[in-house]
């Protein structure tokens, strides 16, 4: 068992009185600020309130060899920070801004499902920066509901999709297209979905990789395929388990009704 050293800290509020003469309330505020600036070096707050400490925290925790394993863990609802008046106004409005941003994202997706389902992924991708901010505020992931990451994004068999370079940072529509999975842009080419266990192999002649369907017990991963209207299939996404693949397929089927023509639930 290891002995850890924990460094705690808390701040003690200090108070102090001063008498000033002023013509009105605004003058009193100005003179109070000036008084503080003039006397701050001599600590005009000399009355500590030991019973109401704030910013209680763990400064650090170190192992027996003095290796620091963590630091700055809050133990109450207070925190230390610096902000301008403008930053404080934004901070005060943050809960309403966050709620409005989530509501706008949900409404745009709902309208896209009703009026432009083929471009649902594009409309969702336009909110990429906003969703990153929401993720930070919520302290949890907010992934695109229709675009989970593949098991191995380096697979040569995967189509890369539409990618724009350079000007995307300035053009939100091009940026959205660049972030949209290729299959979202071509979803109308499919009339159904399939899911299969897959193994990946390496060609002994040229070292290239290729994938083949296999028995479930031999699967390295599971792939969701889109069935093309003219025949044949294209891999859409790979998943570590069959359950993850089926959950993704169910999401697509709930969103794009035309995919129920063939294959899963067809």
Q: pLDDT (tens digit, 9 = 90+) per residue, 14-58?
A: 999 999 999 999 999 999 999 998 887 877 898 999 999 999 999
pLDDT at res. 57: 92
pLDDT at res. 171: 61
Question: From start to end of the chain, where are the E strands?
Answer: 5-11, 14-15, 47-48, 54-62, 68-74, 190-202, 209-213, 221-228, 233-239, 262-263
User: Which CA distances in Å does 114 have to 11, 77, 120, 227?
Assistant: 55, 43, 10, 24
pLDDT at res. 256: 83
pLDDT at res. 53: 93
Residue 207 CB burial class (10 angstroms; 0-12, 13-18, ≥19): exposed
Low-confidence ranges of the chain (pLDDT < 70): 140-179, 264-266
User: What is the residue extent of each domain of the chain?
Assistant: 5-74, 85-138, 186-263
Are 253 and 238 in contact, with CB atoms under 8 Å apart? no
| N-term to C-term CA, the chain | 59
Residue 170 CB burial class (10 angstroms; 0-12, 13-18, ≥19): exposed
CA–CA distance, 255 with 114 (Å, rounded to integer): 10
pLDDT at res. 124: 75
Are 253 and 265 in contact, with CB atoms under 8 Å apart? yes
pLDDT at res. 220: 94
CA–CA distance, 243 with 246 (Å, rounded to integer): 5
Q: Which two tokens stand for residue 186?
A: 């071509």
CA–CA distance, 203 with 222 (Å, rounded to integer): 21
pLDDT at res. 194: 93
Measured torsion, CA atoms of residues 169, 172, 177, 180, in degrees rounded to the nearest 10: 90
> The pTM is what?
0.44
Residue 18's H or E segment, with its range, is none
């Amino acid at each position: 068992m290891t002995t850890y050293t924990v460094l705690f800290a808390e701040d003690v509020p200090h108070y102090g009185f001063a008498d000033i003469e002023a013509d009105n309330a605004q003058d009193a505020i100005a003179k109070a600020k000036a008084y503080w600036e003039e006397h701050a070096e001599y600590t005009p707050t000399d009355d500590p309130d030991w019973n109401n400490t704030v910013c209680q925290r763990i400064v650090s925790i170190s192992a027996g060899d003095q290796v620091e394993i963590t630091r700055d863990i809050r133990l109450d609802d207070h925190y230390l920070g610096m902000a301008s008046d403008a930053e404080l106004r934004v901070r005060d409005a943050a809960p309403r801004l966050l709620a409005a941003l989530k509501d706008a994202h949900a409404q745009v997706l709902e309208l896209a499902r009703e009026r432009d389902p083929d471009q649902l992924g594009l409309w969702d991708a336009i909110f990429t920066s906003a969703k990153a901010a929401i993720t930070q505020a919520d302290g949890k992931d907010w992934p695109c509901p229709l675009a989970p990451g593949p098991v191995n994004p380096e697979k040569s068999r995967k189509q890369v999709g539409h990618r724009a370079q350079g000007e995307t940072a300035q053009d939100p529509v091009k940026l959205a297209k660049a972030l949209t999975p290729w299959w979202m842009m071509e979803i109308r080419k499919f009339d159904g979905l399939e899911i299969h266990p897959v193994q990946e192999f390496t060609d002994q002649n040229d070292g290239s990789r290729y994938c083949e369907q296999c028995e479930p017990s031999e699967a390295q991963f599971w792939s969701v395929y889109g069935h093309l209207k003219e025949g044949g299939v294209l891999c859409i996404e790979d998943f570590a388990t069959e359950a993850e693949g089926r959950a993704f397929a169910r999401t697509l089927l709930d969103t794009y009704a035309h995919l129920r023509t063939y294959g899963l639930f067809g």
